[in-house]
A and B are shown apart, each in its own frame.
Chain A
Amino acid sequence: MSAAFDTLTLGSALDASGEVLPLKLIASFVDGIAAFDPERRCMFWSEGMQNVTGLAPDEALGRAADEVLPFLRAPGEEARLEQSLFGKRSLSRSVRFAVMTTGREGYLDVHYAPLEARSGSRSGCAVVVHDVTQGWIAREKLLETEQRFKNMADVAPVLLWMSREDSLCTFFNQTWLSFTGRTLEEEWGVGWTEGVHPEDFASCMDGYIAAFNERRVLELEYRLRRHDGVYRWILDRGTPRYTPDGTFAGFIGSCIDITERKNMEVELRQAVRARDEFLSIAAHELRTPLTPLSMHLQSLLRSAKAESKPLTPEQLLSRLHGAERQMARFAHLVDTLLDVTRITGGRLSTLREEVDLSALVREVLSRFELELSAAKCTLHAALLPTLVGRWDRLRLDQVVSNLVSNAIKFGGGKPVEVSLEQQGSRAVLSVRDHGIGIAPEHQARIFERFERAVSMHNYGGFGLGLWIARQVVEALGGEIRVTSQPGEGACFVVVLPLSEGEQPTANVGPTSLEVPLP
């Protein structure tokens, strides 16, 4: 059989020079080589062919081409073989094949080449097969890995991106695209930077480029526009990536939304600042009664040491009463400070008992008589003769005192109006002044702790009164609100359920809270 091959010349693809290649050499090629006569019977079957297909030469020789190379039965393959047998064309193909002996599937690059006898007459064709299965498997694995990465990236709860070695971003996961509401095409390259907040753009770019050029881990915080147009704070961490041979291939990064954290930081900073301010105010407020107290004592001392005229008994009594008053004032301030810790510690307890709010308001007003006249504020009170509910007497006294004291303090010497009426099962107390008023933007703030709507350069005070008032009123199931215009005074309204369990707001709209002035 092999003797017949001596007469064969291999086709141009195998031997471009036209030389006869030694059959032994051909037989030992790693690639499989087979030759078929015009009847498609196998004339030659190399060792390489046995390695690739699992068929030994003895099993293959003399058999039909499509029996020994089953892939020829695939649509179109037969025609290619035909072309090589009867035409002059060489053809190359990649095909998937099934190995007969093991059932293994694999990939072959197949080359068909016409064979000519030395005489020049057509004598069949050669089929050269090159096993590319390993390459294909590697490629499929790579594709699978890439697909798996993409799947993982798309379900990851973080925004992922990847850039090339030229710093252009070529990958954004679905989470990113959903976040920005843009397509990969829009984000591609530097498109994503369109979503960066203008104020953060420069620092974001500088940080990225610097880290990129230095091939170091980057960590950036910037605002990125979300699909709904809202800018969210993003923490972006990126790291350089390298190919297996160590070549820099770009960056890969992940981002998380840190807006909540950022907001908390801001709130925390504000809280710390408010506390610091409060400490300074508290120190000042506590020192205020100490000033007259110390002067009363110094005056007594000077008199005792005969450094000044001896004090008359009246003057002496005045000094001592004055000192006593300042001590009480100091104690009151300390009590207020203790209220802060009580309230923030959730320890504000109310002691409910039967209270005539009308009598309580009258009592508070009589206590403020001197202060009212000193401030040249006339008082108009329109109170029910009696209004009894179950409240905490001392705490309500504190609330009413705070409101009246504020009305005098900020009332600018104009009339102060206090009214008390009953609306259904609720008591409605209003304290109105005609002083500096409160701008709308400050109205919610004044009920917060340590807040004040006025400059410390004009008005002292802890900035706690209304906050405490609100805490007390709410602890009693009621509510407190303010209506005001700058320059036109303020009207504070306290609505209190007469007993526990009543809702303060039902059927009491804002208009019904407008208290008619006397």
Chain B
Amino acid sequence: MNLMTTAPCKTILVVEDDADIREVLREVLEVEGFTVRTADNGKVGLEALEEIGRPCLILLDLMMPVMNGLEFLAALRARSAPRSPPVVIVSAYSDIARDVSGAAGRLGKPIDLDDLFGFVHHHCCGSA
């Protein structure tokens, strides 16, 4: 999938505690023309949302210190429902990720870039 034609300036929030994964996500998404905000836990993620408003997509890890993915999701729903930004769970624990309700999708680790860009295309490059 080629996202080169995607309009720039759309923001994606990456909430992930692993610095390496966070940075590589940032790099591949920035190369595609997106603005990427990162947070290393759910609490920082919520703070980032205060600044950037509604991103077109949130990529959310589950296992994180301070505030984990599930707690982040619950807090997000509480504050921005019904216009919650779409959240794609990124987790190596497929069994836990499967039990998360209300997510727009799930990505296993290692992340398949085609799948990732599939979600990105769907949520960030449509008419929305």
Contact = CB atoms under 8 A, between A and B. Distances in A.
- Do A and B assemble together? yes
B24 A292 contact: yes
B73 to A, nearest CB: 13
Contacts of B68: 457-458
Nearest to A290: B110
Interface in A436-480: 456-460
Interface stretch (B59-67, B74-82, B97-105, B118-126): B59-67
A402 to B, nearest CB: 17
Contact of A315 (B2, B31, B70): B31
Nearest to B2: A307
Interface in A359-410: 371, 374-375, 409-410
B21 A292 contact: yes
A371 B19 contact: yes
Interface in B44-66: 62-66
Interface of B: 1-4, 17-21, 23-25, 27-28, 31-32, 40, 62-66, 68, 70, 92-93, 109-113
Given A288-B109, A291-B109, A292-B20, A458 B1 contact: no
Given A308-B32, A315-B31, A295 B63 contact: no
Nearest to A319: B27
Contact of B110 (A294, A308, A322): A294
Nearest to B18: A288
A296 B68 CA distance: 26
B86 to A, nearest CB: 21
B96 to A, nearest CB: 8
Given A291-B21, A298-B112, A456-B63, 9 more contacts: A288-B18, A291-B18, A292-B23, A294-B111, A298-B113, A308-B2, A309-B31, A412-B66, A458-B68
Contacts of A258: none
Contact of A287 (B2, B28, B31, B109): B109
Nearest to A296: B24
Given A458-B64, A458-B65, A291 B92 contact: yes
7 contacts: A290-B110, A291-B111, A295-B21, A298-B112, A318-B27, A412-B66, A459-B65
A274 to B, nearest CB: 18
A477 B1 CA distance: 59
Listed from nearest, the 5 A-B pairs whose CB atoms lie closest are A294-B110, A298-B113, A292-B24, A291-B109, A292-B20
